[in-house]
């Protein structure tokens, strides 16, 4: 066997597969490549001479450095077959059942095991299967070398002699596998370059080849998918890589046909992606699902890595007792594996678990374990781990009152990390210092460290493209949130303004300023745009149940922090925990306020904030949205209670600062984007819109760019379209009923966007085959012609996607002050690029257009509009990205050039929308109101009953919100 060629090929493939195993293990692995190759060759020579004990020792050296080579497991089996230990040989071959599924040597050695078991027919079948995977001509000689060894030492000699005579007669093609392997290696190379579309194409070729094998290479397919997704992720194509990784995990974890190692590997890659995007709760679920599969010999290293990830999540949640148990598991694993890295990490985890204790004995244990961890790490040259341990030791210095020494230790680490170009690690340590000051309520001292961490992350973020900038910002939000919290705690309004604007709608701002350079928005510049009766409110959800509010007027700015934990917990218990609490109270036990029933357990919290989490907050917001759309009289009291609760949370804390102002400019955060502030109920029982006017903006910087837009006064008044025709499409597609199918459609949608292709197949899969006609949209736009002189109105088949795009291309669309589109709208959070509105949908496509005007297509329109109205359902919804806000139609309209956008937050009523829009334009025409003021006025008219009692409810007027000027 040409072992140098074969083993170097394995090295290359293993390097690609191990790219995500981290800098903790990989340098040692890379440094030892040549040594491993030499040791492996020596072990091979020894086994051929029946020196099995010496060969096994050398193989154990290889395994100590890297345990992911299927050939090494096959070589172990070779040794144990010679020794006559079939059970141990089978154990090693069992370990390769998924890793070595399409690898020639494990399958070949499994055939030899069958010979020893007296199953010559099964052995021949396995040899024929192994020949499918032949990569080198010398592989055949390797077969004969192994058989000659068995024959020479009289191990089933006659059977192996028979196989030697039979092998030349066997004709098995290996071209299918070689073609699949070549496509896989091409996909890996493309993935490392971040070319996601080309990568996917090459990977699909590899899958086709694997599916043609007998048996199909299922394990290999998902292993390759995970590896390729991982390389895309690390090359900067975060979303594309993450989707591949997620798909691999979801299709393997509960699939009995997939081996334990592949399940563990897919889970490991997925946890790293989830860690990056900040989905900690799902991350822990994935780890817990994967750990039972990781106990196999082949997966022990991954088991340790998963336990380390779980430890990190538990620490972030403050679950120190659970983390202590995990630390002991890591230590036990390290001892059993004779692995110093896991030993050091186990001691580090145990020490870290004791750090937060107020018990002096526990803190002594923390120092003892951390010092032991540091000794092992520094002795073995585990530089990265030693740095982590030293950071934890710095905390022990802090706890013992040696604060200067603690800060100096961190500062030394930060300087060292920055000198090595390791900005991300430096950010972690800066955040740690800031956090120490933060949790001792020394907020002013914490601020410089968080600001430094953000400054470094901003430099890195500037190197990324748009979508990856969004994803990276989400991974760094904790520093921004801590900084925001610090400014709110120190009543620093100017600092809070800068902190919020620095993280809010950043990518949108950058995309808006690509073609036109706009000066950075400062507090002073923003204040200069405000009128004396206006006040801007910038919200930042610092944690579930708490909000920082930056109040900005023309000449002042304030910082307010509102913690509303008790009130939200009471509301939650009153409506959502009620049944569980009643069950307990039936048996005569009355739960205290600080108790929560979880399954069959009663949890008592000393800190009321711990009783309210993100899931609870999202539930309350979603329920509030539901009651806003429900106008049943019997639910009126509940609706008022919820709307008043959110008023007390969001408006009452700043009521004294906004007194006397007539207009609120609101910049919501996260899920608050989906609540219309206009509908909040004041303590006097009125809707907020009855007291003040309201409009919205994504951020101060976005507002600054919009304010810089100057359009000609001589534009046409309006382009209106409505009454579209919705035929049933001829395009058909299998419906989405699985995660895999959704993933497939997501990839197809991305590819279609990149190539400008039709999305009809994807929409058909989503169930958009036929939509109901909306007669009110026709009446609505026809009313425009009567209300607004000079309005251009297009109805029915004239509401044509190709025609609208042609107007844009010719520059004619930019010659309208208002663009009004009345039709169906849809927000698809799972595939955000498909959110959009329907133009006329014909049975077959017309002029190369599918009839769906999507977010990317709207963004590319050329508008000079003062206002764009999407008079449709849910056009204000979309996918929420931490820091960036709602990615959807509203942002696409602003990007296209609109100064203002009117969109809806839920499904709107056909008739009431007609009245609302027609009345809004009439007010602008006859009263010279701004569009924002006219929208406010229409809401007040609906509340008063000007359009009948049937339309007085929030369901009809509250969904419409105005973004921009």
| Parallel/antiparallel/unpaired status of strands 557-563 and 818-822 | unpaired
3-class secondary structure, 612: coil
Give the contacts of 338 (CB within 8 A, at least 6 positions apart): 64
pLDDT of residue 24: 33
Distance CA 597, CA 599 (A): 6
Quick count: other Cβ atoms within 10 Å of Cβ 365?
A: 18
Q: At what angle do helices 238-252 and 196-212 cross, to 10 degrees?
A: 30
pLDDT of residue 21: 35
pLDDT of residue 722: 92
Distance CA 482, CA 540 (A): 11
Q: Which residue from 295, 249, 244, 241 is spatially nearest to 271, judged by alpha carbons?
A: 249
Which pTM was predicted?
0.66
Give the contacts of 492 (CB within 8 A, at least 6 positions apart): 559
Q: Which residue from 104, 146, 112, 111 is spatially nearest to 125, judged by alpha carbons?
A: 111
318's torsion region: left (phi>0), alpha (psi -120 to 50) or beta? Answer: left
**pLDDT tens track for 77-108:** 999 999 999 999 998 888 777 666 788 888 99
3-class secondary structure, 556: coil
pLDDT < 70 stretches in the chain: 1-35, 64-68, 98-100, 296-299, 461-477, 505-507, 510, 513-518, 577-610, 739-740, 874-887
CA dihedral 439, 443, 445, 451 (to 10 degrees): 100
* 841 DSSP assignment: B
Give ∠ CA 145-149-150 in degrees, rounded to 5. 120
Q: At what angle do helices 493-503 and 443-461 cross, to 10 degrees?
A: 30
Distance CA 248, CA 268 (A): 11
* DSSP one-letter string for 493-532: HHHHHHHHHHHSSHHHHHHHTSSS--PPP-HHHHHHH--T
Give the contacts of 148 (CB within 8 A, at least 6 positions apart): 164
pLDDT of residue 945: 94
pLDDT of residue 556: 95
Which DSSP helix (H) or strand (E) runs through 210?
helix 196-212
pLDDT of residue 28: 41
pLDDT of residue 80: 94
pLDDT of residue 455: 85
pLDDT of residue 459: 76
SS3 annotation, 710-765: CCCCCCECCEEEECCCECCCCCCCCCCCCHHHHHHHHHHHHHHHHHCCCCHHHHHH
Distance CA 793, CA 214 (A): 62
- Give me the residues paired with residue 720 across strands: 793, 820
Are the CB atoms for 560 and 542 separated by under 8 Å?
no
pLDDT of residue 7: 32
pLDDT of residue 587: 45
Residue with tokens 């101060």: 700
Are the CB atoms for 905 and 876 separated by under 8 Å?
yes
In the chain, what is the greatest distance between 2 CA atoms, to the nearest angstrom? 106
Token couple for 662? 């007539």
pLDDT of residue 27: 36
Distance CA 921, CA 432 (A): 54
pLDDT of residue 712: 93
pLDDT of residue 3: 37
pLDDT of residue 586: 45
- Give me the residues paired with residue 560 across strands: 549
């Amino acid at each position: 066997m040409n072992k140098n060629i074969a083993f170097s090929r394995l090295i290359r493939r293993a390097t690609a597969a191990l790219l995500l195993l981290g800098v903790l293990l990989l340098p040692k692995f890379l440094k030892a490549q040549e040594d491993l190759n030499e040791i492996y060759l020596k072990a091979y020579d020894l086994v051929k001479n029946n020196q099995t004990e010496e060969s096994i020792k050398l193989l154990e050296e290889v395994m100590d450095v890297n345990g992911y080579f299927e050939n090494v497991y096959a070589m172990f089996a070779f040794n144990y077959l010679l020794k006559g230990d079939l059970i141990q040989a089978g154990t090693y071959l069992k370990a390769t059942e998924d890793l070595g599924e399409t690898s020639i040597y494990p399958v070949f050695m499994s055939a030899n095991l069958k010979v020893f078991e007296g199953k010559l027919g099964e052995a021949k079948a396995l040899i024929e299967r192994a020949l499918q995977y032949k990569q080198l001509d010398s592989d055949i000689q390797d077969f004969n070398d192994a058989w000659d060894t068995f024959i020479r030492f009289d191990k089933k000699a006659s059977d192996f002699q028979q196989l030697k005579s039979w092998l030349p007669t066997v004709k098995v093609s290996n071209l299918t596998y070689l073609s699949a392997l070549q496509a896989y290696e091409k996909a890996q190379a493309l993935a490392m370059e971040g070319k996601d579309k080309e990568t996917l194409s090459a990977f699909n070729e590899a899958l086709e080849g694997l599916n043609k094998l007998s048996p199909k290479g299922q394990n290999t397919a998902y292993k390759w998918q995970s590896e390729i997704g991982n390389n895309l992720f690390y090359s900067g194509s975060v979303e594309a890589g993450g989707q591949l990784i997620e798909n691999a995990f979801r299709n393997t974890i509960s699939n009995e046909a997939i081996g334990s190692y592949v399940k563990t590997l897919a889970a490991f890659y997925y946890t790293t992606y989830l860690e990056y995007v900040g989905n900690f709760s799902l991350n822990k679920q994935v780890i817990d699902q994967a750990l039972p599969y990781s106990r196999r010999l082949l997966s022990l290293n991954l088991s340790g890595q998963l336990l380390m990830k779980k430890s990190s999540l538990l620490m972030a949640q403050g679950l120190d007792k659970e983390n202590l148990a995990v630390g002991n598991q890591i230590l036990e694993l390290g001892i059993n594996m004779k692995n110093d890295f896991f030993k050091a990490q186990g001691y580090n985890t145990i020490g870290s678990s004791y750090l937060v204790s107020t018990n002096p004995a526990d803190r002594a244990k923390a120092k003892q374990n951390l010092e032991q961890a540091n000794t092992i790490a520094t002795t073995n040259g585990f530089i990265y781990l030693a740095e982590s341990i030293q950071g934890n030791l710095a905390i022990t210095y802090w706890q013992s009152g040696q604060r200067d020494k603690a800060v100096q230790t961190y500062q030394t680490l930060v300087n060292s990390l920055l000198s090595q170009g390791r900005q991300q690690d430096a950010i972690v340590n800066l955040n740690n210092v800031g956090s120490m000051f933060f949790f001792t309520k020394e907020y002013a001292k914490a601020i410089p460290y968080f600001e430094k961490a953000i400054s470094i992350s901003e430099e890195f973020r500037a190197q990324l493209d748009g979508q990856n900038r969004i994803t990276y910002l989400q991974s760094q939000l904790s520093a921004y949130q801590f900084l925001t919290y610090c400014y709110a705690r120190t009543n620093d309004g100017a600092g809070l303004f800068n902190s919020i604007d620095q993280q809010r709608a950043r990518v949108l701002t950058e995309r808006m300023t690509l073609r036109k350079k706009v000066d950075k928005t400062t507090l002073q510049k923003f204040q200069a745009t405000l009128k004396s009766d206006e006040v801007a409110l910038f919200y930042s959800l610092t944690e579930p149940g708490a909000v920082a509010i930056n109040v900005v007027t023309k000449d002042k700015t304030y910082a307010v922090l509102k913690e509303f934990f008790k009130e939200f917990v009471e509301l939650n218990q009153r409506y959502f925990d009620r049944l569980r609490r009643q069950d307990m109270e039936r048996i005569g036990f009355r739960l205290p306020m600080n108790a929560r029933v979880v399954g069959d357990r009663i949890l008592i919290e000393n800190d009321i904030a711990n009783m309210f989490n993100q899931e609870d907050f999202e539930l309350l917001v979603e329920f509030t949205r539901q009651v806003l759309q429900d106008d049943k009289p019997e639910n009126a009291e509940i609706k008022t209670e919820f709307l008043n609760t959110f008023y007390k949370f969001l408006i009452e804390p700043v009521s004294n600062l906004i007194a006397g102002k007539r207009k609120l400019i609101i910049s919501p955060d996260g899920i608050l984007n989906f609540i219309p502030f206009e509908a909040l109920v004041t303590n006097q029982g009125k809707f907020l819109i009855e007291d003040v006017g309201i409009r919205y903006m994504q951020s101060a910087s976005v507002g600054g760019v919009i304010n810089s837009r100057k359009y000609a006064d001589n534009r046409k008044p309006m382009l209106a379209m409505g009454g579209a025709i919705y035929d049933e499409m001829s395009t058909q597609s299998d419906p989405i009923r699985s995660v895999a199918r959704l993933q497939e459609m997501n990839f197809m949608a991305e590819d279609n966007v990149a190539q400008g292709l039709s999305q009809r197949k994807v929409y058909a899969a989503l169930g958009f085959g036929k939509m109901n006609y909306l007669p009110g949209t026709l009446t609505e736009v026809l009313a425009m012609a009567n209300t607004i002189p000079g309005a251009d109105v297009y109805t029915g088949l004239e509401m044509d996607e190709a025609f609208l795009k042609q107007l844009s291309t010719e520059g004619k669309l930019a010659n309208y002050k208002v663009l009004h589109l009345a039709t169906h709208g849809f927000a698809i959070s799972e595939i955000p690029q498909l959110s959009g509105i329907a133009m006329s949908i014909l049975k077959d496509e017309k002029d190369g257009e599918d009839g769906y005007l999507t977010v990317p297509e709207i963004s590319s329109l050329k508008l000079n509009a003062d206002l764009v109205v999407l008079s449709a359902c849910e056009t204000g919804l979309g996918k929420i990205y931490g820091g960036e806000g709602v990615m959807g139609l509203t942002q696409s309209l602003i990007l296209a050039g609109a100064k203002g956008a009117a969109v809806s937050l839920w499904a709107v009523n056909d008739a009431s929308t007609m009245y609302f829009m027609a009345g809004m334009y009439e007010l602008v025409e006859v009263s010279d109101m701004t569009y924002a003021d006219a929208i406010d006025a229409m809401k007040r008219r609906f509340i008063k009953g000007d359009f009948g009692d049937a339309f007085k409810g929030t369901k009809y007027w509250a969904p419409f919100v105005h973004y921009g000027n």
